[in-house]
Amino acid sequence: MKIGDIKGILFDKDGTLLKYEETWGPINRKAAFAAASQNENLADKLLVSTGYDLATKTVQAGTILGAGNSEEIAQAWMMSGARLSEPDLIELLDGIFTEAMQSAVPADNVGGVVRAFHGQEYKLGVASSDSEQSIKVFLDSLGLTPFFGYTAGYNSGYGHKPEPGMFEGFCRKLKLEPSQVAMIGDNPQDMEMARHANAGLCIAVLSGNGKIDDLKPLSDFILDDISKLPELFGIFI
């Protein structure tokens, strides 16, 4: 597939449109403390059980915290001793995650990149393991909502990454063939979703918690971050 054949761009959110560690480090700790009823030792246990490295204060790629959704996090934390019922914990996590998107740290020049592709008449969407409402709050906070014709979260009815449903939903809604769509993401799950859906291109970015050795076999291109994306497509901003 040639870059010139691409008509649609489907972005992941966390680690792609926003900076992962700067945004999610504080959020993950806040969520764990709430789930642990402010018990620090239990909060640490919950974080470690889902992929958080206490020594480096980072989330490991491909783990539940790194690529999962509120339901998966809640289920894992319940097994590790969280002090809420599962429905209450899911609601708590969705609330914390959505509110935090109002102050998320955007990727470098995300607005310029989005506007540049929209100006070239690419159809744009977001597919995230976060909730659909969280995606909308994030886009609204940056004034980018009008540029996206599609948003899908774990609770939008398309299934979960790395299943192909979110990608296929983008194609159906915006009347594109999978071969006309490029997936942009920072995790293996993003690339696997796109591969399962027969995407035209799989483009990985290193601005999240995905590792180059894991992303390389699954991607057609690897970029430092989305600020490099316009150049790859021959767009100058």
pLDDT, position 5: 95
Q: pLDDT at position 24, please?
A: 93
**Does the structure show a pLDDT above 70 at 42?**
yes
pLDDT score at 62: 82
For the entire predicted model, the pTM comes to: 0.93
**ω into residue 146 within 30 of 0, thus cis?**
no
pLDDT at 191 over 70: yes
Burial 34-52 (b: 16+ CB within 10 A, else e): bbbeeeeebbbbbbebbbb
Alpha-carbon gap, residue 187 to 205, rounded angstroms:
8
Tell me, what's the pLDDT at 83? Answer: 84
Say if CB 96 and CB 34 are below 8 A apart. yes
Q: According to the model, what pLDDT value does residue 60 have?
A: 87
pLDDT band at 67 (very low <50, low <70, confident <90, very high): confident
Per-residue pLDDT tens for 157-183? 999 999 999 999 999 999 999 999 999
Contact 23/100 with Cβ under 8 angstroms? Answer: yes
pLDDT tens track for 196-228: 999 999 999 999 989 999 999 999 999 999 999
State the chain's mean pLDDT as an integer.
96
Banded pLDDT at 36 (limits 50, 70, 90): very high
Burial class of residue 236 (count of CB atoms within 10 Å of its CB; 0-12, 13-18, 19+): exposed
CA–CA gap between residue 68 and residue 83 (Å, rounded): 20
pLDDT at 92: 97
Position 1 confidence tier, pLDDT thresholds 50, 70, 90 = low
Q: Is pLDDT of 48 > 70?
A: yes
Does the structure show a pLDDT above 80 at 66?
A: yes
Q: What does the pLDDT look like over 88-142, one tens digit per residue?
A: 999 999 999 999 999 999 999 999 999 999 999 999 999 999 999 999 999 999 9
